[in-house]
Amino acid sequence: MRGRPLLYTQYEDEQALLPSMTRKVMVAVLFAVALTIPFQLIPGLDFLASSGWLILLNRALIFAIGALGLNILVGLAGQVSLGHAFFMGVGAYAAVYLGGEASGSQIGLGLPIWIWLPAAGIAAALVGIIVAPTSVRVRGLYLAIVTLGLVFIGEHIFRNWSSLAGPAELGRVWPALEFRFWKEETALIDFDSDGVWFGIELLKEAKIFFLMLVLAALFTVLAKNLARTRIGRSFAAIRDRDIAAEVMGVADAKAKTQAFAISSFYAGIAGALLASVVGRLPPEQWSLFLSVQFVAIVLIGGAGTVAGVLLGSFFVVLLPRLVENLSGVLAHSAEGDGWFQPIADFFVARSTDDFGLVFLGADGPGLTTDQLNAVLYGLLIALFLIFEPLGLFGIWIRIRNYWKGWPFTY
């Protein structure tokens, strides 16, 4: 069997989380490399240990948790949703009510993280269960419009509920990532400040990175395992042909409610983590653009695939930083005299009187980097839907199959 890695003789082997030795080795290596990032042990990756890059990696891991939840609803169960930001906001404000400190007109109970973090997911799941019956009555574009309405409703409620969300455009302070048994003065484990762990001086971003890495790995395993269960198979049956699935005994309303609840739970956890890591978020943060980002993650990474969602999360989160760095390189090249100077000068505007597709300042000709990122999200979604529906995961499959068949072309 050693020369035939895709030959399975037992159903248990085929349905394993990592059915081949190659996948087991790759996952172990990637996880080991990730653990070494804050320690700068691998040449060429030492720049990732800086505070700026660790902040981006932490954000990518949090987005991966939220995107895994949306993938369960959209990729696995086939239910269109544009309201993911609303459920993240519900989880975030449940967390700040339970874990935040009361001050002035703002409410909070000051409970420890082992209470407010799971409760954030549960609160979002309960709201998802309330919303789920609409998915039984509508589908497709109509379901997308219903969930889109949730974003605007939630944004209005959050903006006007100042005792919970804080002032508009300012927000309030979220509970810190500190582990306490109850309300002791000194935290047992403090992730929110620089300190020494096991004799090694670590930035707070490095501590948060380890926490987010463990949580992302946990939720990845749960999402991967869900597809193998009876519930996950009922989601896939509803996605492929809901009427036929109901005829075969799958409870359509129950399955869709479960999908909304599980997806909302992931969103609530991601929203609470995102707000706690950032520290202060205004109510306007939970907007339609945030939902579009998660839709972009699922579609660009590969809907229905866990590995694709992880790839899409890092791609979408790191894309603005890559665009910013590339714009800086083009701006530097535009000031030179080399053969690349005319091309760089066409893309980058160096002053308000200059022409260019991108302007690095706040106001001038061309697009700002934020506007360019928004354009790229829409462009990448359209291109992947047309040319590669499986997204980045589909590209990886093509590369893998090419090398498996090399040197043969058939």
On whether the CB atoms of residues 86 and 123 are closer than 8 A, the answer is no
Identify the CA nearest to 286 among candidates 167, 150, 177. Answer: 150
Domain boundaries, the chain: 46-286, 288-410
Q: What are the tokens at 19? A: 């059915």
The pTM (predicted TM-score) of the whole model is 0.91
Q: What is the pLDDT of residue 1?
A: 42
* E strand spans, 205-313: 280-281
Measure Cα distances from 230 to 69, 70, 170, 236, 255 in Å: 18, 19, 45, 10, 10
Measured distance CA(71)–CA(297) in Å, rounded: 9
DSSP assignments along 374-402, one per residue? HHHHHHHHHHHHHH-TTHHHHHHHHHHHH
Q: What is the pLDDT of residue 68?
A: 96
Q: What are the tokens at 93? A: 């404000």
On whether the CB atoms of residues 359 and 367 are closer than 8 A, the answer is yes
Measure Cα distances from 136 to 129, 150, 213, 291, 296 in Å: 12, 17, 36, 22, 25
Query: For residue 24, which amino acid is it?
Result: K
Helix/strand/coil for 172: strand
pLDDT tens digits for the chain (410 residues)? 455 656 777 777 777 788 777 788 889 999 999 999 998 888 888 888 889 999 999 999 999 999 999 999 999 998 988 999 999 999 999 999 999 888 878 898 989 999 999 999 999 999 999 988 887 788 778 888 889 999 999 999 999 898 898 887 788 889 989 998 888 888 888 888 888 877 788 889 999 999 999 999 999 999 999 988 899 999 999 998 888 888 888 888 899 999 999 999 999 999 999 999 998 888 888 999 899 899 999 999 998 899 999 999 999 999 888 888 777 777 777 676 766 677 777 677 766 666 666 766 656 666 777 777 778 878 888 888 888 888 899 888 888 777 777 777 65
